[in-house]
């Protein structure tokens, strides 16, 4: 079968957008798109002398990643209509490889949320069940892939925002090692946790996307100068002799037994491939959510200070000078969840509270990182866990912020420690997909992808649809 | 506040002033601290900006290595220990000329610690401790008086690299503070890291000042004085604040720790609004920049590449050229002037003559034309050749001054100017004799009185000869000749 041309792929994607009603009157996963411009770019790709590796892979890009031609609003009123005059490094790399940006995808405002209900532009619906959430914050990107609009989408992670929606939508989502992918052009939520991630229909699509976007970028001082292996070569790697860690903390007695059963089946598949499964402990896991909800809001409170109505985005004047303008702009521009986190973050960094909250949280964070270091040092190659404790829930089902925060319970440890993680479908509960998560050593995405390829193949089509 | 000013001298005499200074210095890099925008002063507003220094969504900082280099150079010149690992931190506050809503600075792990600066001369010489030197970025500029009812923002300066140099509270008078600033400015000029121009804002000073009774060892409550834009402004602001504090203490009242703003036009300090003074900056480590890890070999190399510093140069000038302390002070005031003098002195050979010329004619010419020595049209070598001509009697001292004036104007070599302007001294006996005879003939009355013994007329006659020669005659020979020819 010949690969489609860029024009064919883009044309098909826009047709699919219409067919599934991707806009505000339907799934609401696509916020901004420009068919003619996308087609013009596709023609330019097809006119290249050599076939571009991603010519057949137009991408959907989360709305918190800067693109030249389409708005970048972060799902927020405060950036309504804002178009970036520069492009994120990850987007430039995709374009250079022949990919065309199809659309900007809906997301929780400034990537703060786990259900995509926090977007100023309305919630996204799960393509598998429109009464349910797609997960968040990269819910629009996960939905776009699940609905067949794009084979690859860019998302971003701070606490699980790629893996959790991937799990809820039955697709593959990758969060690379902190520093593996440039953050230049990713609108910062929590700088020490943020990474751009890739969503794809298959492990192979995700691996292909990662190969293109990974690698050192001089514009991001936290990006690592570390060679990028060919992740797709992991497709043929044997699992024989590999040790898979099963951390007790991720399989609590309270976990839905049907989720446990799917995980056991996945671990059995690894055993069948010649891997060994070992019970391990990551003892500080229960502290991850509290630590995350100190560190992330603290950094967010500072990162979001630039949205002040002075240079770009929304400005609401008051009749009482500068301070009133700041207060009105930010009060109207930010939604309730963003406001909550900015206030929380401002509080934990305040004089007299810094040591008790932020400093202590960083110390505990180091313990969480050390948990992983010990596990991998003890000979574990890859850790397997469920991505989330339960499948996608109904819109409006979780109104308590803390209950919502618990969605990230199995994912935010990878962000706090910086290790790479991938979520892939491992089966269904109540006809809804459940994701299994593989975590690996820092910068060992290659090992992580190899295990994901093996598991995907072993579980077969059934696990996916 | 007027009631608290002008404390009588007998009140202030009972107290001692204690001062520590925080000095911000713009580093002279080509590009900004965290992006590649042009960092030079004077461009039209907001031209030197990019997504990074405008704080557009998604932009990230990337550290300018040259800024680190210059900061390290300054730290070494101030005798500080440069830390192999320092950490950038965010200082959070809202202000329209601060695009990110935070300033990238350093907080609990600064670039360098524990240095010292020698201030004053001779008996007044003393050492002021340097607490720390840290790196940070500048904010933009708010212009309040340009558009009625609006504030204009110029972000050209946003992100320009700065160092903050914090002193110990080791100064005891406003004169000490000025001596510290003078020495600091000089050392920074010597190591060529900054324009150190207070008017253009490349050097800014905040002062912490307190008063305590003489003999007390504990420090009094300090206030921070800001908004001075000249060294004399610093001096006057410190005096005014000290008097205010002394008056309060004398009345048995307390000094409140607060920020005071200097108003130079009214010659007074007044408290900043409490909002401006009560920031909680919520410092935390900058997550967008890894810790600044410096290779110890680089730290060492930067220390070794330091040029001769002012103190060493003063000592060497006194020793090598036998110059008086006051002259050394003038000649070493800037590295460019010292280099100029030294080049002229070496080329000419007589350092004292060179020193006199540089301190006299050269500085006067620069003063009149308001030029810097770097752009002065008379280079050291032609100046030295002019001094050679004087020493060799080719031009008189007074003619040399005229030659120099032309050189400063046109940049021509001294030989050509002296020749063209006819300023080469005439020592030809026939010509001199002719001029003398003519003068004696034209002024018979004076000549007669001179012959009759009125010797004081010698000067008048010599002067007339000099005038006739348009200054070219060798005055010593004319002296002899007038006596010979008139005496007959």
Which CATH number covers residue B445?
1.10.10.410
Residue B153: its chain A contacts at CB < 8 A?
310
Residue A354: its chain B contacts at CB < 8 A?
282-284
User: Same domain, yes or no, for B156 and B231?
Assistant: yes
**Inter-chain touch A221–B288, beta carbons under 8 Å:** yes
pLDDT recorded at residue B278: 58
Vertex B68 angle, CA B62 and B74, to 5°: 155
Is the ipTM higher than 0.85? The answer is yes
Read off the pLDDT of each residue in B177-188 and give the average, rounded to a whole number. 94
**Inter-chain touch A218–B96, beta carbons under 8 Å:** no
Neighbours of B268 (CB within 10 A): 19
pLDDT recorded at residue A182: 98
User: How far does B54 lie from chain A, in Å, by closest CA?
Assistant: 8
Cα distances from B444 to residues A392, B449, B468, B478, in angstroms, run: 125, 9, 16, 18
**Inter-chain touch A349–B101, beta carbons under 8 Å:** no
Cα distances from B405 to residues A69, A387, B384, B410, in angstroms, run: 64, 85, 15, 9
Which chain B residue has the Cα nearest residue A87? B58
**Inter-chain touch A187–B90, beta carbons under 8 Å:** no
Q: How many domains does chain B have?
A: 3
Nearest to A160 by CA among A106, A223, A111: A111
User: Same domain, yes or no, for B285 and B343?
Assistant: no
Residue B90: its chain A contacts at CB < 8 A?
302
Q: Which residue of B35, B58, B94 to mutate against A (max A Cβ within 10 Å)?
A: B58
Instruction: Indicate whether B284 belongs to any domain.
Output: yes
Q: Looking at B299, B330, B364, which one is the last position of a domain? A: B299
User: Same domain, yes or no, for B293 and B408?
Assistant: no
CB B203 within 8 A of CB B49: no
Read off the pLDDT of each residue in B190-201 and give the average, rounded to a whole number. 88
| DSSP for B127-145, written as a single string | EEEEEEEEEEE---EEEEE
CB B465 within 8 A of CB B478: yes
Residue A349: its chain B contacts at CB < 8 A?
92, 282-284
User: How far does B110 lie from chain A, in Å, by closest CA?
Assistant: 18
Comparing A184-188, A425-429, B14-18, B24-28, which segment has the lowest mean pLDDT? B14-18
Which chain B residue has the Cα nearest residue A224? B290
Q: Does A33 participate in catalysis according to the annotation?
A: no
pLDDT at B372 over 50: yes
Instruction: Indicate whether B305 belongs to any domain.
Output: no
User: Same domain, yes or no, for B402 and B474?
Assistant: no
**Inter-chain touch A346–B61, beta carbons under 8 Å:** no
**Inter-chain touch A302–B102, beta carbons under 8 Å:** yes
- B94-124 residue pLDDT tens: 999 999 999 999 999 999 999 999 997 777 7
User: Same domain, yes or no, for B163 and B32?
Assistant: yes
pLDDT recorded at residue B387: 79
Domain that holds residue A286: 1-465
Which chain A residue has the Cα nearest residue B94? A305
What's the CA gap between A193 and A292, in Å, rounded? 9
Nearest to B356 by CA among B379, B383, B334, B376: B383
pLDDT in tens, chain A (465 residues): 578 899 999 999 999 999 999 999 999 999 999 999 999 999 999 998 888 889 889 999 999 999 998 999 999 999 999 999 999 999 999 999 999 999 999 999 999 999 999 999 999 999 999 999 999 899 999 999 999 999 999 999 999 999 999 999 999 999 999 999 999 999 999 999 999 999 999 999 999 999 999 999 999 999 999 999 999 998 889 999 999 999 999 999 999 999 999 999 999 999 999 999 999 999 999 999 999 999 999 999 999 999 999 999 999 997 778 889 999 999 999 999 999 999 999 999 998 899 999 999 999 999 999 999 999 999 999 999 999 999 999 999 987 877 777 778 999 999 999 999 999 999 999 999 999 999 999 999 999 999 999 999 999 887 776
User: How far does A338 lie from chain B, in Å, by closest CA?
Assistant: 16
What's the CA gap between B244 and B241, in Å, rounded? 5
Catalytic entry in A76, A114, A137, A138: A137
pLDDT recorded at residue B1: 43
Pairing mode of beta strands B259-263, B268-271: antiparallel
User: How far does B299 lie from chain A, in Å, by closest CA?
Assistant: 21
Instruction: Indicate whether B304 belongs to any domain.
Output: no
Read off the pLDDT of each residue in B129-154 and give the average, rounded to a whole number. 92
CB B238 within 8 A of CB B17: yes
pLDDT recorded at residue A320: 79
Cα distances from B128 to residues B131, B170, B204, in angstroms, run: 10, 5, 18
Which of A84, A322, A351 comes nearest B58 by C-beta? A84
Vertex A141 angle, CA A140 and A145, to 5°: 115
Which of B61, B102, B284 comes nearest A298 by C-beta? B284
Q: Residue B222, CB half-sphere, CA atoms under 13 Å: how many?
A: 16
**Inter-chain touch B289–A221, beta carbons under 8 Å:** yes
User: How far does A71 lie from chain B, in Å, by closest CA?
Assistant: 12
Q: Looking at B368, B395, B420, which one is the last position of a domain? A: B420
What's the CA gap between B413 and B427, in Å, rounded? 22
Residue B290: its chain A contacts at CB < 8 A?
221-222
User: How far does B99 lie from chain A, in Å, by closest CA?
Assistant: 6
User: Same domain, yes or no, for B51 and B181?
Assistant: yes
Which residues partner with B22 through β-bridges? B166, B206
User: Same domain, yes or no, for B226 and B124?
Assistant: yes
pLDDT at B439 over 60: yes
User: Same domain, yes or no, for B41 and B89?
Assistant: yes
Give the pLDDT band of residue B408 (cuts 50, 70, 90). Answer: confident
Beta-strand runs (E) in A263-375 = 276-280
**What percent of chain B clears pLDDT 70, i.e. is strictly above it?**
96
Residue B291: its chain A contacts at CB < 8 A?
none
pLDDT recorded at residue B277: 47
What's the CA gap between B145 and B69, in Å, rounded? 37
Q: Residue B219, CB half-sphere, CA atoms under 13 Å: how many?
A: 15
Return the number of CB contacts < 8 Å for A and B: 103
Q: Which residue of B35, B57, B104, B149 to mutate against A (max A Cβ within 10 Å)?
A: B57
**What percent of chain B clears pLDDT 90, i.e. is strictly above it?**
44
Give the pLDDT band of residue B6 (cuts 50, 70, 90). Answer: low
Cis peptide before A137 (omega within 30 of 0): yes
Instruction: Indicate whether B117 belongs to any domain.
Output: yes
What's the CA gap between A161 and A138, in Å, rounded? 5
Instruction: Indicate whether B81 belongs to any domain.
Output: yes
What's the CA gap between B43 and A362, in Å, rounded? 43
**Inter-chain touch B63–A221, beta carbons under 8 Å:** yes
User: How far does A65 lie from chain B, in Å, by closest CA?
Assistant: 7
**Inter-chain touch A326–B57, beta carbons under 8 Å:** no
Mean of pLDDT over chain B: 88
pLDDT recorded at residue B388: 78
Specify the higher pLDDT residue, A414 or B355.
Answer: A414
Nearest to B226 by CA among B24, B25, B15, B2: B24
CB contact set of B330 (below 8 Å; sequence gap of 6+)? B337, B359, B363
Domain that holds residue B333: 310-420
Q: How many domains does chain A have?
A: 1
Residue A218: its chain B contacts at CB < 8 A?
62
**Inter-chain touch A74–B57, beta carbons under 8 Å:** yes
pLDDT at B11 over 90: no
Q: Does A137 participate in catalysis according to the annotation?
A: yes
Which of A74, A79, A221 comes nearest B61 by C-beta? A221
Q: Does A141 participate in catalysis according to the annotation?
A: no
Produce one character per residue of A123-136: b if its CB has 16 or more CB atoms within 10 Å, e if not.
bbbbbbbeebbbbb
User: Same domain, yes or no, for B246 and B357?
Assistant: no
User: Same domain, yes or no, for B239 and B358?
Assistant: no
CB contact set of B171 (below 8 Å; sequence gap of 6+)? B17, B18, B19, B20, B21, B128, B177, B180
pLDDT recorded at residue B7: 64
What's the CA gap between B125 and B382, in Å, rounded? 37
Pairing mode of beta strands A172-175, A243-247: unpaired
User: Same domain, yes or no, for B44 and B112?
Assistant: yes
pLDDT at B400 over 70: yes
pLDDT recorded at residue A402: 76
pLDDT at B3 over 70: no
Helix, strand or coil, per DSSP, at residue B200 = coil
Nearest to B21 by CA among B117, B137, B159: B117
Nearest to B194 by CA among B25, B19, B313, B10: B25
**Alpha-carbon dihedral of residues A375, A296, B57, A309, nearest 10 degrees?**
180
Produce one character per residue of B204-237: b if its CB has 16 or more CB atoms within 10 Å, e if not.
bbbbbbbbbeeeeeeebebbbbbbbeebebbbbb
Specify the higher pLDDT residue, A28 or B371.
Answer: A28
Nearest to A146 by CA among A237, A282, A331, A16: A16
**Inter-chain touch A305–B92, beta carbons under 8 Å:** yes
Catalytic entry in A161, A182, A223, A423: A161
Nearest to A245 by CA among A369, A374, A406, A159: A374
Give the pLDDT band of residue B237 (cuts 50, 70, 90). Answer: very high
Cα distances from B487 to residues A339, B44, B477, B484, in angstroms, run: 108, 76, 15, 5
Catalytic entry in A62, A104, A175, A398: A62
What's the CA gap between A245 and A262, in Å, rounded? 16
- Looking at residue A4, which CATH number applies to its domain? 3.90.1300.10
Q: Which helix (H) or strand (E) holds A173?
A: strand A172-175
**Inter-chain touch B57–A219, beta carbons under 8 Å:** no
What's the CA gap between B91 and B75, in Å, rounded? 22
**Inter-chain touch B56–A86, beta carbons under 8 Å:** yes
pLDDT at B2 over 50: no
For the beta sheet containing A30-33, the strands, ordered from the edge strand earlier in sequence to the opposite edge, are A30-33, A101-105, A59-62, A152-157, A195-200, A172-175, A421-429, A432-440, A382-386, A243-247, A276-280
What's the CA gap between A181 and A194, in Å, rounded? 10
For the beta sheet containing B259-263, the strands, ordered from the edge strand earlier in sequence to the opposite edge, are B81-82, B112-119, B126-137, B161-167, B15-26, B203-213, B223-228, B259-263, B268-271
> What is chain B's length?
488
Q: Looking at B268, B299, B330, which one is the last position of a domain? A: B299
Specify the higher pLDDT residue, B296 or A51.
Answer: B296
User: Same domain, yes or no, for B191 and B340?
Assistant: no
């Amino acid at each position: 079968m010949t690969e489609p041309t860029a024009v064919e792929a883009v044309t098909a994607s826009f047709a699919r957008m219409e067919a599934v009603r991707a806009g505000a009157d339907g799934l609401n996963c696509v916020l901004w798109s420009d068919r003619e411009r996308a087609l013009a770019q596709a023609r330019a790709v097809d006119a290249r002398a050599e076939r571009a590796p991603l010519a057949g892979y137009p991408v959907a890009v989360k709305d918190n990643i800067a693109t030249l031609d389409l708005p970048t609003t972060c799902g927020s009123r405060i950036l309504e209509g804002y178009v970036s005059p520069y492009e994120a490094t990850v987007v430039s790399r995709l374009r250079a490889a022949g990919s065309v940006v199809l659309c900007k995808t809906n997301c929780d405002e400034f990537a703060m949320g786990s259900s995509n209900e926090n977007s100023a532009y309305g919630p996204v619906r799960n393509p598998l069940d429109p009464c349910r959430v797609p997960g968040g914050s990269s819910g629009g990107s996960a939905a776009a892939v699940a609905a067949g609009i794009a084979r690859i989408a860019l998302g971003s992670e701070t606490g699980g925002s790629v893996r959790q929606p991937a799990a809820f939508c039955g697709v593959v989502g990758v969060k690379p090692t902190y520093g593996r992918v440039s953050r230049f052009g990713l609108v910062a939520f929590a700088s020490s946790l943020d990474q751009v991630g890739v969503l794809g229909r298959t492990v192979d699509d995700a691996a292909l996307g990662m190969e293109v976007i990974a690698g050192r970028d001089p514009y991001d001082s936290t990006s690592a100068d570390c060679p990028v292996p060919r992740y797709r070569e992991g497709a043929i790697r044997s699992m024989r002799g590999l040790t898979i860690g099963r951390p007790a903390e991720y399989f609590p007695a309270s976990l839905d037994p049907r989720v446990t059963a799917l995980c056991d089946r996945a671990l059995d598949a690894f055993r069948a491939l010649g891997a060994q499964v070992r019970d391990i402990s990551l003892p500080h896991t229960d502290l991850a959510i509290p630590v995350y909800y100190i560190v992330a809001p603290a950094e967010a409170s500072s990162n979001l200070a630039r949205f002040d109505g002075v240079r770009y985005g929304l400005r609401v004047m008051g009749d009482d000078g500068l301070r009133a303008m700041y207060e009105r702009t930010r009060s109207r521009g930010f939604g309730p969840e963003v406001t909550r986190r900015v206030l929380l973050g401002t509080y934990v960094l305040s004089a007299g509270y810094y040591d008790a909250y932020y400093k202590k949280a960083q110390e505990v964070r180091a313990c969480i990182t050390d948990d992983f270091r010990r596990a991998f040092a003890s000979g574990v190659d890859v850790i397997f866990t469920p991505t989330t404790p339960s499948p996608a829930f109904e819109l409006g089902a979780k109104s308590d912020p803390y209950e919502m925060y618990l969605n990230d319970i199995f994912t935010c440890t990878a962000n706090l420690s910086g290790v790479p993680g991938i979520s892939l479908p491992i089966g269904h509960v109540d006809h809804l997909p459940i994701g299994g998560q593989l975590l690996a050593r820092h910068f060992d995405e290659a090992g992580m992808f190899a295990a994901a390829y093996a598991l995907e193949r072993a579980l077969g089509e059934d696990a996916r649809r | 506040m007027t009631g608290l000013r002008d404390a009588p001298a007998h009140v202030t005499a009972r107290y001692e002033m204690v001062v520590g200074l925080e000095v911000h210095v713009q580093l002279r890099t080509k590009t900004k601290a965290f992006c590649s925008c042009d960092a030079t002063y004077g461009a039209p507003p907001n031209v030197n900006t990019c997504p990074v220094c405008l704080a557009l969504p998604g932009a990230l900082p990337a550290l300018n290595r040259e800024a680190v280099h210059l900061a390290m150079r300054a730290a070494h010149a101030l005798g500080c220990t440069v830390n192999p690992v320092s950490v950038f931190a965010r200082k959070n506050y809202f202000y329209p000329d601060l695009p990110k809503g935070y300033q990238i600075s350093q907080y609990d792990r600064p670039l360098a610690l524990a240095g010292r600066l020698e201030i004053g001369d001779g008996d007044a010489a003393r050492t002021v401790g340097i607490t720390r030197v840290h790196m940070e970025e500048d904010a933009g500029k708010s212009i309040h008086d340009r558009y009625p009812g609006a504030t204009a923002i110029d972000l050209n300066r946003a992100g320009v690299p700065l160092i903050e140099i914090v002193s110990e509270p080791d100064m005891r008078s406003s004169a000490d503070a000025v001596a510290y600033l003078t020495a600091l400015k000089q050392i920074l000029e010597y190591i060529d890291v900054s324009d150190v121009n207070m008017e253009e804002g490349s050097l800014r000073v905040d002062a912490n000042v307190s008063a305590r009774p003489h003999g007390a060892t504990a420090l009094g409550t300090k206030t921070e004085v800001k908004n001075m834009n000249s060294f004399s402004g610093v001096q006057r602001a410190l005096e005014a604040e000290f008097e205010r504090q002394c008056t309060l203490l004398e009345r048995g009242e307390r000094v409140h720790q607060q920020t005071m703003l200097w108003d130079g036009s009214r010659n007074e300090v007044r408290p900043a609004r409490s909002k401006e003074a009560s920031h909680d900056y919520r410092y935390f480590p900058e997550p967008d920049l890894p810790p600044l890890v410096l290779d110890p070999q680089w730290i060492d190399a930067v220390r070794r590449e330091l040029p001769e510093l002012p103190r060493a140069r003063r000592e060497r000038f006194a020793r090598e050229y036998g110059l008086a302390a006051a002259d050394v002070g003038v000649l070493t005031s800037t590295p460019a002037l010292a280099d100029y003098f030294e080049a002229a002195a070496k080329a000419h050979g007589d350092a004292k003559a060179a020193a006199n010329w540089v301190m006299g004619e050269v500085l006067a010419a620069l003063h009149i034309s308001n030029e810097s020595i770097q752009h002065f049209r008379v280079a050291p070598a032609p100046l030295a050749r002019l001094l050679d001509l004087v020493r060799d009697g080719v031009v008189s001292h007074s003619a040399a001054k005229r030659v120099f004036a032309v050189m400063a104007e046109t940049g021509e070599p001294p030989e050509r100017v002296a020749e063209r302007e006819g300023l080469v001294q005439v020592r030809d006996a026939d010509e001199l004799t002719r001029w003398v005879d003519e003068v004696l003939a034209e002024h018979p009355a004076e000549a007669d009185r001179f012959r009759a013994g009125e010797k004081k007329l010698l000067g008048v006659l010599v002067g007339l000869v000099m005038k006739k020669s348009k200054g070219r005659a060798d005055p010593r020979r004319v002296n002899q000749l007038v006596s010979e020819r008139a005496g007959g």
